[in-house]
Structure 1
């Protein structure tokens, strides 16, 4: 073993484990951030201006123009306000906003003012009523009866008898 040298090499590995935490406002979908935004009916119809606080502490002003109707469930986005793109630190995904339109409670407007509101809205469809039609009234659904009805359907699936449907609450 003469004349041979052995070189001792030390190899170090650094392993970083990132734990993604839940956030109260944003959910991550790859490079995009998704959030739900509740808006009032007036904002949905007449334009909105809302602020969103980003993860890095900036405030964004989200707005829509009057007449640009936002429907319940509409999805819009803001470019380059999501998470940084992997291996492209100067590029970001989108901030995706899912809109939830809040409707007013029952009887929020006095009945004598309803006609003024209706004049401002797009016209209703005309309904042709004939003598062989029966007019019925809508009432609230009893949630407990509805759940029982759905659980019963699984057992009644093979039977020939008619199924029980959603039951309404009696006033």
Structure 2
């Protein structure tokens, strides 16, 4: 589905006193600037909440390969010509 994707992260930052001034400057360079505005109520109503799950890439690739093999097998069955049976006289 085409649309805008909003991802919300809950990040626990260390206390400011635990960071050196150099570390603070580095974080400011890496992280995006603080957002100026919030989403409107209408934009929030159009959002769909979802839950992300960890995926085992190797297992997912094996599952997809198996699925493709099954689809190819099923296509072969569909394309097969009807079998002719001999009638006994």
* TM-score, normalised relative to structure 1: 0.20
TM-score with structure 2 setting the length: 0.31
The structure in which a higher percent of residues are strand is 1
